[in-house]
Amino acid sequence: MRKYVVLVVILVLLVVIAFLLEFPRFASGPSSTALVSVNPAAPASINISRGGTALTLRKSTEGWTVSKGGLEHPADSLRAARILALAQGMEGDVVSVNPENHSIFGVDEAGGTLVTLSDENDSTLASFILGKPSKDFSCTYVRRAFSQDVYAVAGFLSSDFRADADFYRRRSILDFAEADLETLRLIYPERSLTFARDTLGGMVLIEPEAATFDTASLRQAISGLSRLKATGFDDSAGEDEAGLESPGLTVVTALRNRESFELRVGDLKDKSYRVVRVGDPVTYLVNKSLTETFYKTYETYLGR
């Protein structure tokens, strides 16, 4: 009888251990709500590293930048703001106080993502390691860099903290209100089209003279240009390799506030066109379907 009791006790213990491993966020340990708390205005740099890959976001007078290949690129301000918002008040419950469990939760130095926020004097404001998500992806395991405690923090945080510089680079190429467009010039290798806004607020074709045009094609082109964003970047190809020395189309826009932008459309790479904005050293990759909202044939604009 005693043997059966011992076996039952062992079985119960095994079930409890299995339960804790399956649902680690319910593990025992002290509880706390304060994990990271940083004034969003204080950080001057954000360093993110995982494995052998690292990047740094830096605050400049014109916004945030991200470094890649020894160069500083404009960063997406919304992505930087998202990190600062999360760091402003990161809360969670302790799920483990045992350092031997760090690899289980993915918050060890080898498997986790180290995030360090520093001020303008390079003093550390916060440093923490992001680990694995829970099995239902409702929370992420996080550990402060100099603490043994592991927290379960609500949300899938890995989507906001990536050791990938391109993820943080600004992808907006043009961004203007359609009503602010005054003139649009489409320059092809041997001919061009010029549209201008008339006194009634509509767009008219002034080059070539006495020609009709397809209004639907023009509307689609203006809509696509006004919110033009890249899907990626091509940092390796020169202008001759990308077809940008002799572009298939050059787009020149002039806005009501007298700003002027010039775009050059080059060759296809996979399913994206290479596009440059004059004055901007970046070669952007723009989705084929988006580019073709304005990269139409000369004859299409004339309704032929």
Q: Which of 236, 301, 230 is nearest to 265 (CA)?
A: 230
For residue 17, what is the enclosing H or E element?
helix 2-22
Residue 17, pLDDT above cutoff 70: no
Domain annotation for the chain: domains and CATH numbers: 28-168 (no CATH), 178-301 (2.60.40)
Residue 4: the pLDDT is 55
**Contact call for residues 80 and 168 (beta carbons, < 8 A):** yes
Give pLDDT, residue 32.
52
> In this predicted structure, what is the pLDDT of residue 197?
93
Count how many Cα atoms sit within 13 Å of the Cα of residue 277 in the half-sphere of its side chain.
18
Using one digit for the tens of pLDDT, what is the confidence trace for 161-171?
Answer: 999 999 999 99
> So what's the pLDDT on residue 22?
44
130: its two tokens: 């992001």
What local confidence, expressed as pLDDT, does residue 25 receive?
43
The structure tokens listed for 240 are 């001759």
Percent of the chain whose predicted confidence (pLDDT) is above 90: 71
The predicted-structure confidence for 177-199, as pLDDT tens digits, reads as follows 999 999 999 999 989 999 999 98
Please say if the pLDDT value at position 284 is more than 90: yes
Is pLDDT above 60 for 62?
yes
Query: Residues 267, 242: contact at Cβ < 8 Å?
Result: yes
DSSP state of 229: B
H-run or E-run covering 233: strand 232-233
| Per-residue confidence band for 26, with pLDDT thresholds at 50, 70 and 90 | very low
Average pLDDT over residues 265-287: 93
DSSP secondary structure letter of residue 134:
P
Is-contact 54 163, C-beta < 8 A? yes
Q: Which has more confidence, 236 or 142? A: 142
pLDDT of the residue at 20: 47
pLDDT of 295 above 70: yes
What pTM value is reported for the model? Answer: 0.79
The model's pLDDT over 117-136, given as tens digits with 9 standing for 90+, comes to 999 999 999 999 999 999 99
Query: Which residues, 6+ apart, have CB-to-CB distance to 207 below 8 Å?
Result: 185, 192, 193, 194
Tokens standing for residue 286:
């723009």
